Structure 1
């Protein structure tokens, strides 16, 4: 089949939404508008299913005010999906891209979406369709890049939520509160709760991430000791905690295809505290409340998401393909990151875990090295509550 002569651009969202996925969309749209050679700018409605079903939105026809609101709008304005594609689906995707005369395909998503993006690239490259990935994940588990747009805002949310819960527990210190954070295989969001601490002794008092095997005996020892000291204890845990054998600490509730649904870790641990220690305990699970919370959106996260979208367009126009936009940290003081390109095969289904240096030796807390890494990503400092406590 011959090369495409008309230069249309298509943007696709994949996986769970974030507080800044629309900011990346905005960056791509605004950058694409600058080039006359890009004839049409389209969005696939509902993720990759939009390509399969040929349902698109013409982004050039949207009002100025609609586009300008994107960076401050939660979740995905064009929809997204987690569909499991079959081999035959990729052939349909290629056929439909050619039919729509797509020259540039931008895929915004996490490591699973980058896997899809890479497979499309392999088929599309002989037709001179340029395929670029835009990183997006609250879990911050995409390999190679310093961090991913979406994480900074999710980190800001969990830190703020933990700080507010901490004040509740501090004002009536009678029980243990266990907060379950998102991130089944990587503990980046859970670790970010450490930013709620203003001084030694502040909550969260204990943090358990999925990168370390969970020891229930040590957990109960830690909780009992801290309860004697403070009365109220705040614990933050990853939803994917596993025991020493690599099994989830809670049994699966349901298996559907390749997906396994587990019970709540927070509820399980709260019950464990009640039964084994006789201490009143409760669990909190913000869940998707923090995934796309615009109220706690990080200004730095938004800024970098816009940059990632714009850089993907610039790179595609320069002839790049089969790569994902990443961020390289240049300095912490002042904080500065620069975009660069990563071959898709280096990020397809590769999960980035918390390094050991970010976790304390007992496995129940987070180090200052992580704080140094994460603090710039949440944007402006969190509100301080110290001066309001009697």
Structure 2
């Protein structure tokens, strides 16, 4: 018998704990696993030996993981260097840890890959479990966490669109997370059911933002509908590659800008004289349990279980991914991807998913994304608002 360790890394999602559930419940089937250690606080929890035995957690609490947002184990963005990885090996030996699972996004898969490199000659198996609302991990068709974030932004934009339609006097700019990849913002398109539905415009960071064209589009649509809903990514940049929003603060490692949504709403007011406001759900979009996708929860559990089985079978230096078998009806399967193929990579929205003018997504994207949000959004009554000219 030996012990298993699982750690979470990077920003959490509404289904990261569903993957943890998958690991714990699957691990209980194998007598060769003694303790299932959870590192409290991500990689820093490993280095401080802050472990809990997840097998000792009551079953009722384990079941709650399926619908618990954020990270039940805690997480971190703790920087790691050669000496930290060497220390991890000592800790693995001290606690008789033979199997390591790391659940996270791009940066966490880089950490996972480096743990694999230092541990591969020590008889320690290392497998990555994908997690990111941004959907920007290489090779895998999609990542657990994205489907729920996509459902959240779609339902949110649908709600806002109904509000704007009922009092069509202003422009509403909705800003989504996703600095370099616009997958979440693109999912706003799933709010639509018929022509004229919000969002009326969608801008992704994969295309340079053209201020002149933006104002032209807003003005045209405001004349047509009265109320306009615009979905934008927090990472929009101009033709020169500079952030659209004004700079707030800069460090050696990062650039901090103001809110894109606020900047564009102010631009509409200043240049077009149209009332405008911005909405920024922020981390609500990754923490909303109400908007969990059933597909996302199920696949997050599958990812955890697949990772556990793979590492026990002797697989190492791999990440669990998803291969799409069909879109309609939707069917996918878990696969194993060499961790070296995903470390610090960044999958952006491909050109075929973005329209020619760069202010919307294509039907191909909608067809690809729709199965991931776990069913239809909440439907509303339709009195054909705006078209009704006479009183009943």
Matched, 1:123 2:118: yes
| Aligned equivalent of 2:283, options 268, 280, 288 | 288
Structure-1 residue corresponding to 2:52: 57
For the aligned residue pairs, the C-alpha RMSD in angstroms reads 1.0
SS of aligned partner of 2:382: helix
Runs of 4+ that moved beyond 4 A: none
TM-score when normalising by structure 2: 0.97
Q: Deviations over 1:328-354 (max 9, x none)?
A: 000012100000000001000100000
Q: Does 1:234 align with 2:248?
A: no
Q: How many residues align?
A: 385
Question: Unmatched 5+ residue regions in structure 2?
Answer: 386-392
State the distance in 1 between where 2:252 and 2:292 align: 34
CA distance in 1, matches of 2:85, 2:104: 17
The unaligned stretches of length 5 or more in structure 1 are 1-5
Distance in 2 separating the partners of 1:252 and 1:98: 47
What residue number does 2:253 align with?
258
Once the two structures are superposed, what CA deviation does each residue of 1:115-152 show, in whole Å capped at 9, x if it has no partner?
A: 00001100001111100000000000000000000000
Any idea what the Cα deviations from partners look like across 1:29-80, whole Å, max 9, x if unmatched? 0111100001110100011110011001110110010001111111110101
CA distance in 2, matches of 1:293, 1:368: 27
Following superposition, the deviation at residue 257 of structure 1 comes to 4.6
Secondary structure of residue in 2 paired with 1:74: coil
- Name the residue aligned to 1:13: 8
1:158 match: 153
In structure 1, how many angstroms separate the alpha carbons of the residues matched to 2:180 and 2:306?
Answer: 29
How far is the alpha carbon of 1:86 from its aligned partner? 2.3
1:94 aligns with one of 58, 82, 89: 89
For residue 9 of structure 1, report the CA deviation from its aligned partner. Answer: 0.4
Distance 1:388 1:319, change over 3 A: farther
1:310 aligns with 2:305: yes
Distance in 2 separating the partners of 1:323 and 1:69 = 28
CA distance in 1, matches of 2:383, 2:93: 61
**Following the alignment from structure 2 to structure 1, what is the Cα–Cα distance between the partners of residues 384 and 122?**
65
1:110 is matched with which residue: 105, 113, 134? 105
Deviation (angstroms), 1:166: 0.5
Greater Cα offset, 249-258 or 329-338: 249-258
Q: Which of 269, 273, 282 in structure 1 is aligned with 2:268? A: 273
Q: Hey, what's the Cα distance between the residues in 1 that align with 2:140 and 2:318? A: 12
- Kindly tell me: are residues 62 and 388 of structure 1, through their superposed partners in 2, closer, same or farther at Cα, counting changes over 3 Å? farther
- Tell me if 1:170 matches 2:154: no
Query: Does residue 181 of the first structure (1) align with residue 170 of the second (2)?
Result: no
CA offsets, 1:221-251, max 9 Å, x none?
Answer: 0000000111100000000001111111123
User: Which position in structure 2 is the counterpart of 1:32?
Assistant: 27
TM-score (norm 1): 0.97
SS, match of residue 70 in structure 1: helix
User: SS at 2:10's partner residue?
Assistant: coil
For the residues of structure 1 that align with 2:32 and 2:334, how far apart are their CA atoms? 24
Say yes or no: does 1:384 pair with 2:379.
yes
Which residue matches 1:192?
187
Match of 2:323 in 1: 328
Note the C-alpha offset of 1:389: 5.6
Q: Work out the CA distance in 2 between the residues paired with 1:256 and 1:152.
A: 33
